[in-house]
Structure 1
Amino acid sequence: MKKNFLWLTILAALTLVLGACGFGGDSSKDDSSKDGKTLKLAIASEPPTLNPQLSTDTQSGSILNGLFEGLTRVDAKGKVENAMAKDIKVSKDQLTYTFTLRDAKWSNGDKVVAGDFEYAWKWALNPKNASQYASILYPIKGAEAYNLSKGKVEGVGIKTTNDETLVVTLTNPTPYFTQLTAFYTFMPVNQKVAEANKKWAADATDQYVTNGPFTLKEWKHNDSVVLAKSDSYWDKANVDVDTIDISMVESNATANRMFQKGDLDFLGAPFQSVPLDAVNAYKESKQLNIKDTAAIYLYKFNTKDDVMKNANIRKALTLAIDRESLIKNVLKAEQKPAKGLVPSAINGWEGQETFYKDNDVEGAKKALEAGMKELGIKDAKDLTIKVSINTDESHAAIAQFIQEGWKKNLGINVAIDNAEWQVFLTKMTTFDYQVGRMGWTGDYNDANTFLDMYSSAENGNNHTGWSNPKYTEFMAKANKEADADKRIKLLQSAEAVAMSEFPAAPIYDYTTLFVSKDHVKNMAPDLLSNINLKAVKIDK
C-alpha cells in the first residue's frame, strides 16, 4: 500500500526464475497496433480499486494517474505543474489556496467544476466511506476532526465559490500542499455520476467517467485493463499514446519473458518489476536503468501481538538483519541499507545518521535475552516468529534470507506466511500477522509522507498499532513550524522516538530498476516511482 500503504507495491526489483529466454533479441522492435500507438504494460495483480479516494497501492495509483487529473501534476524532475488548475494563488500567511480551474470536460461531456473536487475530497474524509488515505487531506482545516467524527463537514476548509473557483483553507502552512493536490486522493469525481451510482468505479462502464488523458475502455477482472486516449481531455493534442494494454501477470519472471518476446514494452516500478535473476544480464547488455527512489522496504511489527508487543524483541529482530549482504547477494541493484524510517533520497535526509548498527548480532542477542525475560520465555527455541509476505519471488527471496539469519544468529524459529495480494492486505489491515513486509513510496518529497502514519495508532497506513505521545507531539509541532530547518529537526526528533521502540524494521532504500523498448520514450519513473502516462511517446 503506498502511504496509507498500503503502500504497495511491487517496487522490488528482483525474482528467482528467469526462464529460458535470451537477452540478445531486438529490444527496439515496434509492435504497436496498426490502428494507433499502443503501450503494453503489466501489473502483478488485480487492482484493489480504481476509485481515486479509496486507492492505497502503487499499481492502482499508476493506472489512476492516467485516468484522472488533479489540480496539479509533478513532472519527472519533481517540479509542480498546473493541471486542472490554470491558476493558483496562495495567501501571504500560506493558509489559503485559491485554485482557478481551466475549461475542461469529463469523458461523458460534463464540465469539470470546482464542486467535483469539493465532493471527492469530502467524500474521502467522510468516516462512513473508510478511505484509508483520508489522512493525506489532514492539512486542510477541519479535515481531521471530520474524518475522526469529532467535527462536522461544514467545518472543513474546502469551499466552492463558483464552478471555476475552489478555495482551500489549511490549518498550518504546508510547504508541499501543491504536491499533494497531484496525488490521486485529491483527484476529482463527477458528483452527478457518483451520486447516481455508488458502484460507479466497479467496472468499465459508461458510469466510469474520467477527466484525465485516458478513459477506462476495458477491465477484465483478474486479467487485464485497457485504457484509451480520451477525446474530451483538455490537452489531448499532447497525448501521444492511443491505447494502453495492461496485463495482470503475477510472476515477474513471466513478465520478463513477455518483455523479451515483445509482448511488453516496459518492466519496472510502478508496474511489474525486473526479475532478480535478470539484473546482471540487463546490466551487461546496457539495457538496465537504475535510479534512486524515495521509497523504503521494511518489516512492520504488529504491536498488538503477544510477542511483538515487546520492544526488545522488535529491536532484536531489527538489529539482526544483515542489510549489506542482502543487497550484495540477493538484491544486486545498488539499493542502500536503510538508516531509519525515512529514505536518504528525501529532502533534508541526505546526511542522516543511522539509528542502529547493521547486522549487530551481539546487540540483537542482548535485546532478545531482555525481551524473552520480560515475556517469560526461557529458551529462544521456544520462540516462533511468522513473517507474512504477498506472493512475489522477490519478497520470498528476501524473507528466506532474513529467516536464515534470524535462525542462525538468534536461534529462533521463523515461518514464512505467503498470501495472494488481496488476502495479504487484509491480514495487515486486520492485524492478523506478527511481522509483515511492506514497501512505502513517498507520495511527495517530504519526510512527513513516511512519518505521519505513525502519529496515531488509528491511521489507516500505520498497520503496527504502535503510537507514542512524544512522537505525536513532535509531529504536531513540525506541522505547525514554518521555518524549514526547525521543521526538519522536529521531524528527525520524531523519527528518533520511533526508532527507539522499533514499530518497524527498516531494511533498504529502494532503487528503481527499469528496462524499456527503444521505441518507448519519456517513461523513466520519477523520484517517487511515478510515471506520467500522458507524457509517454512511441516512435513508430
Structure 2
Amino acid sequence: MKRIPLKFFFSLLFSSFLILPLSAQENTESNESENPPVENFDSIIDLENEGEKNSPVNEALQRNFTIITAEQNLNLDIHTASYASEAQILDSLYEGLFSYDPKSLDPLPAIAESYKISRDKKRWTFTLRENTKFSNGEKITAYEVRAAWISLLSTVNAPYASMLDCVKGVADFRAGKTSEKDIGITVRNDRTLVVTLVSPTAHFAKLLCHHAFSVCKLDSNGKTDTSVFSGAYKISENSGKDLVLIKNKQYWDAKNVHIPQITITKSNDVKENSWSFNDGSADWISGMVDTGALLNKTAIRISAIFGTEYLFFSCKNKPWDDADFRNALLSAVPWDLLRKTGLVKATTLIYPLAGYQGVEGLTETSLEDAKEMMTDARKKLGIPQDERLTLTFGISSMSERQKSQAEILKNAWEPLGVDLKIQTTPEDRYIDSIPGWNADIFSYSWIGDFADPIAFLELFRANSTLNPSKWQNSKFDELLQRANESTDNGEHYKLLAQAEQLLLDSGEVLPITHSISLHAVNLNQVGGWYVNALDIHPFKYLYFKEVKSESAPNVI
C-alpha cells in the first residue's frame, strides 16, 4: 500500500541487520549481511500453524498482547491513511464487506453475510449480517456502507478513491461531472446493498478487503468519527508512545476474538526491543529488531512479500517527459551496482506471482548504446549535442541509501551530458511532498493491497489517485481495462504482463529490489499469525497457545 504505499507503503531498512520496517511508501535502506533465508510467499507452508484453527482456544491464557513497531506518526483515518503500518492497525479497528483470510489473504465475508453476482458480472448484491453494530452500539446498515464510500470519494487527496473507478459513475463523480445519485451504489433496504460495475471486475472482492473501503461512522460534517469503530477492536488509549486497543464487544464476531487488549509500543531501540522479546514483555516485534540479540532464533520470520522498491520519473519537465531520453539514461544504469544491497533483486516492477509471466526486465547496461540513444533523442527535440542537461533527484534528507543511489546514477549519466542534482526534504514529509515537488526522479516503495498485478499497475493509470508520476499512456490504460473485464485468469495475467512491459519499455521506472518483511514472533506460543504475501496479520485471529515444553529463556 502507499500502503504506502495498502498502499501507497515498503521494503525493509537493513543496517548491520538492524532492520527498520517501512510501509508501502517509505524509502528503504539495505545492506548485505548474513541473514536467515528469505521465504518465497508463493511456496510458504506454515507447518507450525497447521491445524490450529481446529484447536480450542484456552481463554484462561489470553491476556494483553504487546507489539513493538517503529516510531512513526500514525494517521488512523481510513480514508487518508496510506502506510502499511497504519493499515495493520486499521484492519482491526474497522471492517468492510470483506476481510482478509489471515493465511491465504482470500476475501472472507465480513459485514456482508453473503453476496451474489449477476450473469453479466456487473451487478454485485450484498446482504449484510443482522447483528452488525458500531462500537457505540448503533446498528450498521447498508446506508452506512454507502455513506462511508461516498465520504471516501468526496475526500480530497484520498489515495485509494480511484480504486472504485470500476464502479459505475465513480470516475465522473470524482471529476465533479455528476452528483452522488449517479453513482452505481444503491441501497434496497437496511441489509441489502447493490453495486453496479462499469465492466466485470474479477478482483473486486479482494479490493474491498482494504481498509479504505471499510465502514465508518460519520460525524455531522460527513467525516470519519475516529472514536467509533466497526472492527474487532477499538481504541482505549493513544498517548503517542503507546496505542492501546481493547476488544470491541459490539463486534459481530466478538466471540471469536480472544485477545482482550493489544498494546502497540513505538520504539526504534532495536537492542532494547530484542531484550523485551527475550524477557517476555513483548510478544511480537515488527521490524525493529536486532536478530543477533534474540535468544530464540526460531522466532525470526523473514519472507519475501508482494512489494517493490523502485525509482520513477516525474513527467513534469522536459526532456524527461520523453521516453527516448529516459531510455537513454536507463541503458547507462549499472543495474548490478544499483541493486547490490537488495536481498531480493528486482528487474521488473511486479513480484513474479505464480502464473504471471512474460515480462522482460531491466538488466542490460551499455554506455555505448546509451550515448547513441541520447544523440538520437537530442536530434529529435533539437537539443544541441554539447548542451549539459540537468536532472533533479528528490530524496529524503535522512536517507543514506538514496544518497548512494544518486551518486551511482550521477556517475553513470555524466558521460551522456546529464548532470544529476539532489534536492532534499525531511523524511517525514517525503512522500507527501512528491506531488508538488518540481524534481524529475523520486524513490518509492510499494506493497500491493491485494495479490494481483493490478495493485501495482494502478499506480500508473491515468486519473488514478495513486499515480504520483502523472505518467499517462492510452495503450496502457486500455490493457488494464481489458484485463479487468476478462473473467479468464490466464488472459487477465497476459494483458497485465503486456501493460507492465509497456511501462518498463517506456523507461518510466527503475526497479531495484523486492520487499521483505522481518518479524519476531514465537509461533509456539502465538496462534493465528501467518506469513503471507501482503505482510498483513489481522489482530482478531491472534491468541496465546498453551506452551507444553519450552524452557524459559536465560536472561542475564
Alpha-carbon contact 1:3-1:449 (below 8 Å) kept: no
Compared CA separation, residues 284 and 67, structure 1 to 2 (3 A): closer
Which residue does 2:316 correspond to in 1? 304
DSSP 3-state at the match of 1:89: strand
State the alpha-carbon separation in 2 of the partners of residues 90 and 522 from structure 1.
Answer: 31
- Cα-to-partner distance string for 1:69-98 (whole Å, 9 max, x where unaligned): 111122111322111111122222222212
Mapping of residues 225-304 of structure 1, within 5 Å: 225-249=243-267, 251=268, 254-255=269-270, 257-262=272-277, 264-268=282-286, 272=287, 278=290, 285-304=297-316
Alpha-carbon contact 1:475-1:494 (below 8 Å) kept: yes
Compared CA separation, residues 230 and 417, structure 1 to 2 (3 A): farther
Alpha-carbon contact 1:37-1:240 (below 8 Å) kept: no
User: Could you tell me which of 109, 112, 118 is aligned with 1:85?
Assistant: 112
The alignment status of 1:69 with 2:95, answered yes or no, reads: yes
Which residue does 1:338 correspond to in 2? 347
Shift of 1:384: 5.2
Shift of 1:337: 2.0
State the alpha-carbon separation in 1 of the partners of residues 528 and 482 from structure 2.
Answer: 40
Compared CA separation, residues 294 and 156, structure 1 to 2 (3 A): same
Which residue does 2:137 correspond to in 1? 109
Mapping of residues 400-439 of structure 1, within 5 Å: 400-411=403-414, 414=420, 417-439=423-445
Compared CA separation, residues 514 and 403, structure 1 to 2 (3 A): same
The alignment status of 1:526 with 2:532, answered yes or no, reads: yes
- Cα-to-partner distance string for 1:224-249 (whole Å, 9 max, x where unaligned): 42222112112222222222222344
The alignment status of 1:200 with 2:225, answered yes or no, reads: yes
Alpha-carbon contact 1:344-1:509 (below 8 Å) kept: no
The alignment status of 1:46 with 2:73, answered yes or no, reads: yes
- Cα-to-partner distance string for 1:264-293 (whole Å, 9 max, x where unaligned): 43344xxx455xxx5688799454333232
DSSP 3-state at the match of 2:194: strand
State the alpha-carbon separation in 2 of the partners of residues 6 and 303 from structure 1.
Answer: 24
> Larger deviation: 505-514 or 409-418?
409-418
- Cα-to-partner distance string for 1:102-158 (whole Å, 9 max, x where unaligned): 1121110111111111001111122x6442211111121111121122232112111
Compared CA separation, residues 279 and 353, structure 1 to 2 (3 A): farther
Which residue does 2:239 correspond to in 1? 220
Shift of 1:380: 9.1
User: Could you tell me which of 102, 115, 118 is aligned with 2:146?
Assistant: 118
Compared CA separation, residues 313 and 226, structure 1 to 2 (3 A): farther
Shift of 1:304: 0.2
Which residue does 2:550 correspond to in 1? none
Compared CA separation, residues 515 and 67, structure 1 to 2 (3 A): same
One-letter identity of the residue aligned with 2:238: W
Which residue does 1:389 correspond to in 2? 396
DSSP 3-state at the match of 1:499: helix
State the alpha-carbon separation in 1 of the partners of residues 71 and 370 from structure 2.
Answer: 35
Mapping of residues 372-383 of structure 1, within 5 Å: 374=381, 376=383, 383=390
- Cα-to-partner distance string for 1:150-199 (whole Å, 9 max, x where unaligned): 232112111111111111111111111111121112101124xx236747
The alignment status of 1:135 with 2:166, answered yes or no, reads: no
Q: Where does structure 1 lack aligned partners over 5 or more consecutive residues? A: 24-33, 202-207
DSSP 3-state at the match of 2:360: coil
Shift of 1:358: 4.6
DSSP 3-state at the match of 1:258: helix
User: Could you tell me which of 202, 212, 236 is aligned with 1:175?
Assistant: 202
DSSP 3-state at the match of 2:96: coil
Shift of 1:423: 1.3
Shift of 1:513: 2.9
Mapping of residues 31-42 of structure 1, within 5 Å: 36-42=63-69
Compared CA separation, residues 273 and 464, structure 1 to 2 (3 A): farther
Alpha-carbon contact 1:10-1:273 (below 8 Å) kept: no
Which residue does 1:5 correspond to in 2? 5
TM-align CA RMSD? 3.3
State the alpha-carbon separation in 2 of the partners of residues 407 and 163 from structure 1.
Answer: 60
Alpha-carbon contact 1:97-1:169 (below 8 Å) kept: yes
Alpha-carbon contact 1:214-1:227 (below 8 Å) kept: yes
> Larger deviation: 515-524 or 223-232?
515-524
Compared CA separation, residues 491 and 382, structure 1 to 2 (3 A): closer
Which residue does 2:492 correspond to in 1? 487
Shift of 1:257: 3.6
Shift of 1:214: 0.6
Alpha-carbon contact 2:332-2:370 (below 8 Å) kept: yes
The alignment status of 1:59 with 2:62, answered yes or no, reads: no
The alignment status of 1:503 with 2:511, answered yes or no, reads: no
Alpha-carbon contact 1:224-1:246 (below 8 Å) kept: yes
Compared CA separation, residues 159 and 382, structure 1 to 2 (3 A): closer
Shift of 1:475: 2.2
- Taking only the aligned residue pairs, the percentage that are identical comes to 23
DSSP 3-state at the match of 2:206: helix
Alpha-carbon contact 1:266-1:514 (below 8 Å) kept: yes
State the alpha-carbon separation in 1 of the partners of residues 352 and 295 from structure 2.
Answer: 24
Alpha-carbon contact 1:10-1:44 (below 8 Å) kept: no
Q: How many positions carry a matched residue from both structures?
A: 497
Mapping of residues 348-359 of structure 1, within 5 Å: 348-349=355-356, 351-359=357-365
DSSP 3-state at the match of 1:461: coil
Which residue does 1:205 correspond to in 2? none
Alpha-carbon contact 2:273-2:288 (below 8 Å) kept: no
> Larger deviation: 351-360 or 54-63?
351-360
One-letter identity of the residue aligned with 2:167: I
DSSP 3-state at the match of 1:330: coil
- Cα-to-partner distance string for 1:29-50 (whole Å, 9 max, x where unaligned): xxxxx99322222134112x31
State the alpha-carbon separation in 1 of the partners of residues 180 and 151 from structure 2.
Answer: 10
One-letter identity of the residue aligned with 2:347: A
**TM-score normalised per structure 2:** 0.80
Shift of 1:348: 3.4
State the alpha-carbon separation in 2 of the partners of residues 521 and 417 from structure 1.
Answer: 46
One-letter identity of the residue aligned with 2:161: A
Alpha-carbon contact 1:296-1:338 (below 8 Å) kept: no
Alpha-carbon contact 1:318-1:506 (below 8 Å) kept: no
Which residue does 1:442 correspond to in 2? 448
Alpha-carbon contact 2:162-2:464 (below 8 Å) kept: yes
> Larger deviation: 310-319 or 180-189?
310-319
The alignment status of 1:149 with 2:176, answered yes or no, reads: yes
